[in-house]
Amino acid sequence: FNEEKITEIAIFKLFKNGDVIKYHKLINPQKKIQPFVEKLTGLNNKMLENKPVFSKIASEINTFTKECIFVAHNVKFDYRVLKKEFSRIGIRFQRDLLCTIELSKVIFPDLESYSLGKLVSNFGIKINNRHRADGDAEATLDLFSIIKKNMGEKNLHKFINFQNE
């Protein structure tokens, strides 16, 4: 806990007009990848050894996400890991948050499971590259679009959880 390092990041920036811009990078975590992570993601130390370290792309990420709402499936986990990476290099990273798990529980209260895999399967969303940052982020974006459509923009903003330190 709190020793995780980012090996890959994918951000899909959704604009009000529906346009999407993707940011995706492999990242050298500067530590050995745990075997269960290798097995889950297919990423290995050799693939990442010549990739940039987080500090080299932190400014890009910070700028790309400025004034954005951070939406993720299990947002508290992703946000904690990203904030920790920023704090290691002395940058305070703070965004408004929305969690597609919590939103799904409100909008679709009768589902058996709120795992990303079960939700996207339930709604016919295809996941390319499962357990990789880009595949899971794109599936989360598609899920978020369904949630947004069912919830409405105004109601959605009631669920933003601003993390104060």
Return the pLDDT at 164. Answer: 37
Q: Is the pLDDT score of 101 beyond 90?
A: yes
- At 132-158, the pLDDT tens digits run 999 999 999 999 999 999 998 878 877
Give every CB contact of residue 117 below 8 A, 6+ residues apart in sequence. 127, 130
